[in-house]
Amino acid sequence: MKAYQAAVRKAKTLAKRCGPGWEPWVWENLGWHFCAVRNQSRLYPQRARDYWCSLMLAGMQFQGFGKSPEEAIKEAEKSARERFEALQKGLQAWGMKL
């Protein structure tokens, strides 16, 4: 029970740190695990101090890694922006008006 309570506490702390819209998520799979979720996106702690963000937008996945949750989220957002800018340029080159 202590492991579950620790995972819940860590998940709540992580979700709060991520900002508005992020919620804690705890599950059991050969031990208690946790992450923060927002819609279909996830932020997972990795190893002792690293974080991985899986940002899902428009059916596409964008990933970011960082030493902090904020850094991992920003990296995933940067990846998404770069992809969408490339798509926008491609559509404009095709002659589509946006």
- Tell me the pLDDT of the chain (98 aa) as tens digits: 899 999 999 999 999 999 999 999 999 999 999 999 999 899 999 876 799 999 999 899 999 999 999 999 999 999 999 999 998 899 888 888 76
CA distances from 13 to 19, 38, 42, 50, 78 (A): 10, 14, 15, 15, 24
Question: Domain segments of the chain: what residues?
Answer: 2-94
Q: What is the pTM of this model?
A: 0.85
CB-CB neighbours of 10 under 10 Å: 18
pLDDT at 64: 95
CA 38 vs. chain centroid, Å, equals 8
Nearest one of 70, 82, 2 to 36, comparing CA atoms: 70
